[in-house]
Amino acid sequence: MPDTLNGRRSAARSGNPLRDPRDRRLNRIAGPSSLVLFGVTGDLARKKLMPAVYDLANRGLLPPSFALVGFGRRDWDNEDFAAEVKDAVKSYARTPFDEAVWNQLSEGIRFVQGAFDDDSAFERLGETIKELDENRGTR
């Protein structure tokens, strides 16, 4: 009989140590960091990625200085993107919406408009990340 726990393959067999029920390590908060989401105006980002980032923040697993940078073709500014993220979070997050968590997360939200074949857009992205590194300590 295969190595199972309640009819499921164990983590040792499946190769995924994060699913091992014997693992009792405490959750760890990430260090200062930024996440760049390319193609951020798409359905995957809206329904899965943005809500997942919020859920991590809501569970206290992101540092206060965390930054989320969206990259896409839409003609948005930072406030437009933040409004889109907030709407996605309220619609699809797995944890309840908390205004205090949102306020802290939204301080690090930026948007860079551009296409994947636009060198100047990537220069703007680099400048945005550099500004976040300096101002939010994400270096």
d(CA 2, CA 82): 48
pLDDT digits (tens, 9 = 90+) for 104-136: 999 999 999 999 999 999 999 999 999 999 998
What local confidence, expressed as pLDDT, does residue 16 receive? Answer: 62
What local confidence, expressed as pLDDT, does residue 20 receive? Answer: 60
Q: Is residue 58 part of a domain?
A: yes
What local confidence, expressed as pLDDT, does residue 124 receive? Answer: 98
- The rounded mean pLDDT for the chain is 87
Tell me if residue 136 falls in helix, strand or coil. helix
Residue 56: which domain range? 32-136
d(CA 107, CA 135): 11
Q: Which has the minimum average pLDDT: 4-18, 20-34, 74-88, 91-105?
A: 4-18
d(CA 133, CA 117): 25
What local confidence, expressed as pLDDT, does residue 29 receive? Answer: 72
Q: Is residue 11 part of a domain?
A: no
Tally the domains of the chain.
Answer: 1
In degrees and rounded to multiples of 5, residue 39 shows phi and psi of 65, 40
d(CA 132, CA 68): 10
Q: Which two tokens stand for residue 138?
A: 């994400």
d(CA 100, CA 103): 5
Local confidence band at 14 (pLDDT 50, 70, 90 cut-offs)? low
Q: Is residue 16 part of a domain?
A: no
Tokens 């408009």 correspond to 113
Local confidence band at 89 (pLDDT 50, 70, 90 cut-offs)? very high
Q: Is residue 5 part of a domain?
A: no
Q: Is residue 8 part of a domain?
A: no
Strands (DSSP E) contained in 1-127 are 4-5, 8-9, 34-38, 67-72, 109-113
| CATH code for the domain in which residue 73 is found | 3.40.50.720
pLDDT digits (tens, 9 = 90+) for 35-59: 999 999 999 999 999 999 999 999 9
